[in-house]
Structure 1
């Protein structure tokens, strides 16, 4: 059984030619369109999450031999979290080849972080099962290369840093308030305001509350540190 033109193009984008094309088809099949004869990608997602974790743990140890576990842990989390996997999926246009049921397609499933992240992990597992760990590692390191190189900066948790800033100055923890929610139900945009007890505040918008909170916290930190 051969791949369709769009799946062959996708294989080229990830840099892997499948000996067993069915693995790729399964990795791209969301539960909303699965059937007894068309398995979904959930089991592959479970495996791919573990393969990704091992690749990243190994890469971080090699990249910084002097780093402690306390330094490595936030870097690891920054590389494997769902948002990072979804970003990687978008970079290779995974959403365009994701197989979805009608309801998920109508609700914007091809743009949802959770669906993209799960499918990205499933694709990693598909490569692992098709050609082994070395092939999966090579693909992951190629796709995540820039993020690995800059992860020391990316791993900074802005909300934690802002809370530590406030506590060091005798203030209560920052408060996060949802100021607005716009956009269609399947692709909302949240505007969050972070407030300090001394009245200083900042706002930011993003596609999830978590991301908006982090952006608002980082914006306020930058202001406090005189960076902008």
Structure 2
């Protein structure tokens, strides 16, 4: 199977060339454009989530042999959450090669956190199915890069940190508001804004309200630290 010029360039960005490029095509096919002859990436996403989890768990245990389970768990969650997968997807411009239906295209599907995160997990599974665990592991570690080394900062509870930051400046606790809930019931996407009493605010998206609040708090922390 011959792949498009765009997918050839994408393989260069991820550092892996498929022997069975149909796996790559499937990993980049969203359900909004799928058909009987063009299966979507949902089953690959399911597998990729597990492969990613094994890779991250392995490297976290290797890098800190003294860490207890209670220390490893938040680090692990920070590395495998949908937001992190989407960040990695953006770093390799995955959205540019996603195959989407018209409805998703017009609503900005190539930039949606949930779609990008799902497709990244599907890509990991596609590499695993094409070349085995070692190539999948190598790609994950290459694309996640220094995120793994800096995981301690990413694993902090952003809401607690933001509240402590506000209290230290004699401000009221931050407020959180759900701005939007989209997607099907089995795969919702919440968009939440975190707001300080001086009006400074930032937004976050996630598959749950709780995680969206954490994402918004993290974005607001980054914003106030750069001001």
Matching residue of 1:110:
110
1:185-196 counterparts in 2 under 5 A?
A: 191-194=193-196
- Does the aligned pair in 1 maintain the 2:3–2:21 contact within 8 Å? yes
Matching residue of 2:89:
89
Would the alpha carbon gap of residues 24 and 60 (structure 1) be closer, same or farther in structure 2, given more than 3 Å must change?
same
* Range with bigger deviation, 4-13 or 97-106: 4-13
Which runs of 5 or more structure 2 residues have no equivalent in the other structure? 166-171, 181-189, 206-211
**C-alpha distance in structure 2 between counterparts of 1:179 and 1:139, whole Å:** 35
Would the alpha carbon gap of residues 219 and 15 (structure 1) be closer, same or farther in structure 2, given more than 3 Å must change?
closer
- Does the aligned pair in 2 maintain the 1:29–1:39 contact within 8 Å? yes
- Does the aligned pair in 2 maintain the 1:28–1:123 contact within 8 Å? yes
Which runs of 5 or more structure 1 residues have no equivalent in the other structure? 167-172, 182-187, 196-200, 223-227
**C-alpha distance in structure 2 between counterparts of 1:175 and 1:36, whole Å:** 48
- Does the aligned pair in 2 maintain the 1:24–1:126 contact within 8 Å? yes
**C-alpha distance in structure 2 between counterparts of 1:179 and 1:128, whole Å:** 37
| SS of residue matched to 1:6 | helix
TM-score by length of 2: 0.81
**C-alpha distance in structure 1 between counterparts of 2:13 and 2:29, whole Å:** 18
Would the alpha carbon gap of residues 180 and 95 (structure 1) be closer, same or farther in structure 2, given more than 3 Å must change?
closer
1:33-182 counterparts in 2 under 5 A?
A: 33-161=33-161, 174=173, 176-178=175-177
**C-alpha distance in structure 2 between counterparts of 1:72 and 1:215, whole Å:** 23
Q: CA deviation at 1:213?
A: 3.0
- Does the aligned pair in 1 maintain the 2:29–2:100 contact within 8 Å? yes
Deviation by residue 1:168-205 (Cα, 9 ceiling, x = unmatched): xxxxx945244989xxxxxx98642256xxxxx77321
Would the alpha carbon gap of residues 214 and 129 (structure 1) be closer, same or farther in structure 2, given more than 3 Å must change?
same
- Does the aligned pair in 2 maintain the 1:158–1:218 contact within 8 Å? no
Give the number of the structure whose alpha-carbon radius of gyration is greater: 1
TM-score by length of 1: 0.81
- Does the aligned pair in 1 maintain the 2:204–2:219 contact within 8 Å? no
| Residue 203 (1) aligns with residue 207 (2) | no
| SS of residue matched to 1:31 | coil
Q: CA deviation at 1:139?
A: 0.3
Q: CA RMSD for the aligned pairs?
A: 2.9
**C-alpha distance in structure 2 between counterparts of 1:43 and 1:180, whole Å:** 30
**C-alpha distance in structure 1 between counterparts of 2:178 and 2:58, whole Å:** 41
**C-alpha distance in structure 1 between counterparts of 2:134 and 2:178, whole Å:** 47
Q: CA deviation at 1:158?
A: 1.8
**C-alpha distance in structure 1 between counterparts of 2:94 and 2:25, whole Å:** 12
- Does the aligned pair in 2 maintain the 1:189–1:205 contact within 8 Å? no
